[in-house]
Amino acid sequence: MSQLGHFFGNGISRRDFIKTCVATTAVMGLPFSMAAKVAEAAQAPDRPPVIWLHFQECTGCSESLLRANHPAPATLLLEMISLDYHETLMAGSGHQAEKSLHDSMKANHGKYILIVEGAIPTKENGIYCKVGGKTALESLRKAAEGAAAIISIGTCASYGGIQAAPPNPTGAVGVRDIIKDKPIINIPGCPPSPYNLLSTVLYFLTFKKLPELDEMGRPKFAYGRRIHEHCERRPHFDAGRFAKAFGHETHAQGYCLYKLGCKGPATYANCSVQRFNDVGVWPVSVGHPCIGCTEPDILFRTAIADKVQIHEPTPFDSYAPVDLKDKGKGASPVTTGILGLAAGAALGAGAMMARKLPDAEQPAEHGQGGDHEPKE
Amino acid sequence: MLKNRRKPMMGGSMSHDEYQIHKAKILTPAFWVLLTLTVIGFALIAVRFIWGIGAVSNLSDGYPWGIWITYDVATGTAIACGGYAVAILIYIRNKMHYHPLIRSAVLTSLFGYGLAGFSVMVDVGRPWNAYNFFVPSQWQANSAMFEVALCVMAYTTVLAIEFLPAVLTRLQETNWSRARSFLEKYHGRFGLDTPVVLEKLEKLGQRALWLQPRLDKVLIFVIVLGITLPTMHQSSLGSLLLIASTKLYPLWHTGFLPLLFLINCMFIGYSIAILESIISSYGFKRPFEIDQLSGLASITPYLTSIWLCVVVGDLVWRGQVANALRFDFYSAFFLLEFGLVATGSLLLFSKKRRQSPRWLFITAVLIVLGGALYRFNVYLIGFNPGQGWRYFPSLAELMITVGIVAFEILGYQVLVKLFPVLPRLHGHEVVEKV
pLDDT value of residue A248: 93
CB-defined contacts A:B, below 8 A: 111
pLDDT value of residue A68: 59
**Model confidence at A182: pLDDT above 70:** yes
pLDDT value of residue A155: 95
- Strands A112-117 and A147-153 come out as parallel
Closest to A372 (Cβ–Cβ): which among B30, B288, B365?
Answer: B30
pLDDT grade, residue A372 (50/70/90)? very low
pLDDT value of residue B386: 82
Closest to B356 (Cβ–Cβ): which among A335, A359, A374?
Answer: A359
- What helix, strand, coil percent values describe chain B, rounded to 5? 75, 0, 25
Q: Do the annotations mark residue A58 as ligand-binding?
A: yes
CB contact under 8 A, B282 and A324: no
SS3 A147: strand
pLDDT value of residue A31: 76
* Over residues B300-321, mean pLDDT: 93
Q: How far is A371 from chain B (nearest CA, A)?
A: 6
Name the residue in chain B with its Cα closest to that of A331.
Answer: B392
Q: Which residues from chain A sit within 8 angstroms of residue B290, using beta carbons?
A: 361
**Identity of the highest mean pLDDT range in A201-205, A208-212, B339-343:** B339-343
Partner A contacted by B91 (CB < 8 A):
no
**Model confidence at B18: pLDDT above 80:** no
CB contact under 8 A, A357 and B63: no
pLDDT value of residue A370: 36
* Residues B246 and B350: beta-carbon distance below 8 Å: no
In Å, the largest CA–CA distance within chain A is 129
Average pLDDT of chain B to the nearest whole number:
85
**Model confidence at A371: pLDDT above 50:** no
Name the residue in chain A with its Cα closest to that of B412.
Answer: A373
pLDDT value of residue B133: 86
Closest to B288 (Cβ–Cβ): which among A339, A366, A373?
Answer: A366
SS3 A56: strand
Partner A contacted by B290 (CB < 8 A):
yes
**Identity of the highest mean pLDDT range in A113-122, B119-128, B416-425:** A113-122
Q: Do the annotations mark residue A156 as ligand-binding?
A: yes
pLDDT value of residue B3: 39
Closest to A373 (Cβ–Cβ): which among B63, B394, B413?
Answer: B413
pLDDT grade, residue B377 (50/70/90)? very high
More confident residue, A77 or A92: A92
More confident residue, B202 or B239: B239
CATH number for the domain whose boundaries are A2-221:
3.40.50.700
**Model confidence at B7: pLDDT above 60:** no
Partner B contacted by A333 (CB < 8 A):
no
Domain boundaries, chain A: 2-221, 225-314
What span, in angstroms and rounded, lies between the C-alpha atoms of A140 and A152?
A: 11
pLDDT value of residue B228: 85
Closest to A361 (Cβ–Cβ): which among B290, B392, B409?
Answer: B290
Where is average pLDDT lowest: A62-71, A222-231, B252-261?
A: A62-71
Partner B contacted by A321 (CB < 8 A):
no
Q: How far is A193 from chain B (nearest CA, A)?
A: 43
CB contact under 8 A, A357 and B278: yes
**Model confidence at B431: pLDDT above 50:** no
Q: Which residues from chain B sit within 8 angstroms of residue A356, using beta carbons?
A: 282
pLDDT value of residue B130: 86
pLDDT grade, residue B51 (50/70/90)? very high
pLDDT value of residue A79: 63
The answer to whether the Cα torsion of B50, B51, B56, B59 is positive or negative is positive
Domains of chain B, CATH where assigned: 20-423 (1.20.1630.10)
Q: Which residues from chain B sit within 8 angstroms of residue A334, using beta carbons?
A: 395
More confident residue, A362 or B263: B263
**Model confidence at B188: pLDDT above 70:** no
Q: Which residues from chain A sit within 8 angstroms of residue B392, using beta carbons?
A: 329-332, 335-336
* Over residues A217-245, mean pLDDT: 91
What span, in angstroms and rounded, lies between the C-alpha atoms of A164 and A168?
A: 5
pLDDT value of residue A10: 52
Partner B contacted by A346 (CB < 8 A):
no
Name the residue in chain B with its Cα closest to that of A334.
Answer: B395
* Over residues B249-253, mean pLDDT: 92
pLDDT grade, residue A236 (50/70/90)? very high
Where is average pLDDT lowest: A52-56, A104-108, B172-176, B200-204?
A: B172-176
Q: In which region does residue B319 sit, left (phi positive, over 0), alpha (psi from -120 to 50) or beta (all else)? A: left
* Over residues A263-269, mean pLDDT: 93
Query: H or E element: which one contains A138?
Result: helix A136-145
**Model confidence at B15: pLDDT above 90:** no
Q: Which of residues 370-429 of B touch A (CB under 8 A)?
A: 387-395, 398, 402, 409, 413
CA-based nearest residue to B249, from B330, B327, B313, B312: B330
Where is average pLDDT lowest: A125-129, B120-124, B423-427?
A: B423-427
Q: How far is A32 from chain B (nearest CA, A)?
A: 29
What span, in angstroms and rounded, lies between the C-alpha atoms of B360 and A15?
A: 84
Q: How far is A319 from chain B (nearest CA, A)?
A: 17
SS3 A54: strand
Partner B contacted by A320 (CB < 8 A):
no
- What helix, strand, coil percent values describe chain A, rounded to 5? 40, 10, 45
Partner B contacted by A347 (CB < 8 A):
no
CB contact under 8 A, B391 and A330: yes
More confident residue, A253 or A27: A253
Q: How far is A345 from chain B (nearest CA, A)?
A: 14
Where is average pLDDT lowest: A121-130, A137-146, B100-109, B252-261?
A: B100-109
pLDDT value of residue A361: 58
- In terms of CATH, what superfamily is A225-314? Cytochrome-c3 hydrogenase, C-terminal domain (4.10.480.10)
**Model confidence at A287: pLDDT above 90:** yes
* Over residues A22-32, mean pLDDT: 77
Name the residue in chain A with its Cα closest to that of B352.
Answer: A360
pLDDT grade, residue B194 (50/70/90)? confident
Partner A contacted by B29 (CB < 8 A):
yes
Q: Which residues from chain A sit within 8 angstroms of residue B355, using beta carbons?
A: 360-361
**Model confidence at B102: pLDDT above 80:** yes
Residue A279 CB neighbours (<10 A): 9
Cis omega before residue A166 (within 30°)?
no
**Torsion angle of C-alpha atoms A152, A158, A163, A169, degrees rounded to 10:** 110
pLDDT grade, residue B434 (50/70/90)? very low
pLDDT value of residue A132: 83
